[in-house]
Structure 1
Amino acid sequence: MDRGSRFFYALEKMRGAKKHVTCLLAEDGTPLTDPEEMCGRARDFYTSLFSPDPTDPGTCGVLWKELPTVGVGDRDRLELPLTLAEFSEALRRMPTNKSPGMDGLTGEFYRAFWDILGPDLVTVWAESLQSGVLLLSCRRAVLALLPKKGDLRDL
């Protein structure tokens, strides 16, 4: 399943080159144009943004006591092996003209070839679930910064 990934990553790289960021503002407002400096600025910004805030263990305990739990019957049903029927239903519910992954393949593609692809994909996903390890291609992502109002150089 990972073999074709090189092609799709190259395709995404070509698409991304058209949307290349050429300047970011440093924390003090200084423009950064060096790619390494821009990477460092983005890494620092998002590391700070997604770092957990300090928490009070006592407060967490109160919160956790109030959380609902999954009943034994539901848990047993949720832990059943994956089935082709479940994936077929999920595929049927996918919106049209949307690509769920980096490969650019739409739900329509999977629907058209589901009889061929479905059983193998279910096997791959079931093995990943059993082993607790996703394929490398399933662990990769392409992030795109979406422009908002204001200075687009300011993260």
Structure 2
Amino acid sequence: MCYKVPEFQSLVLTGWNIAATGTAMFRVVKKLKLLKSDLKELNRGLFSDIERNADVAYNLLVDCQLSLQQDKTNKDLMDKERYLRQSYYLMAAAKEDFLRHKANSEWAKDGDTNSAMFHQVIRQRHVHNKVLQIEDKNGILCKEPDEVLQAFVDYYEELMGTNGHTTLVLEHIIRQGPLVHDTDWDGLCRIPTEQEIRGILFSIPEDKSPGPDGYTSGFFKASWDIIKGDICEAVQNFFVNENKLLRVFTRQIASIRVHEANKTKYDRGRVFW
């Protein structure tokens, strides 16, 4: 919420100029960690009890506008109305963001301050993320919750939890199917440009839930001109130093085959129903 106030840019600029040593990713994590307490304090000072403050800002604006109607040439009232209008717009936007993030939280279903729309979105998410039925390894369709759960457990136990003999996979058999060429692998492992990193980051909606560090994409968008150098270096450094691991990972992803004909099976990390 504090991303839209003038104090935000100067606060980030001061915090980001703190000297940090180590790898590029370590420097980014350290700066974000040190900056978090200052951002919390700014957010607490400006937006604590945001719902009540938004209502107060609205009432002050209405009172000022009524007074201005009685004295339309009063310059002081004009300036005051302009200031109160900007303040109300800021508070109203912060209130909307607060309710949106609250609706994304698991405990929102127990709150009574959200609108019916937010509760409907929460119910839709629960339905969308629920696996109602799935075929087990024997091709039997499981519909009961316990049976669905056991189908997943059996699949992973057979995949990773046994010590049985592994049949050698013959390369000539693999090559009979669709393949990902070396040029495609090189493209997946290519070091991204600043424009590509920015494009991916800015494609993330600001109302998505924050990451483990508590930062949403809104922070990175609002402070991009300040932090882009360190962020891009950290991302590009991963592609340089972890290139070997990344190639193995991309080969594993590329080997996933989707069963288009029967979309009720669990196959290599994908659920279809």
Name the TM-score, length of structure 1 as normaliser.
Answer: 0.45
- Higher Rg: 2
Name the TM-score, length of structure 2 as normaliser.
Answer: 0.28
Considering Cα pairs closer than 8 Å and 6+ residues apart, tell me whether 1 or 2 has the greater RCO: 1
More helix by share: 2
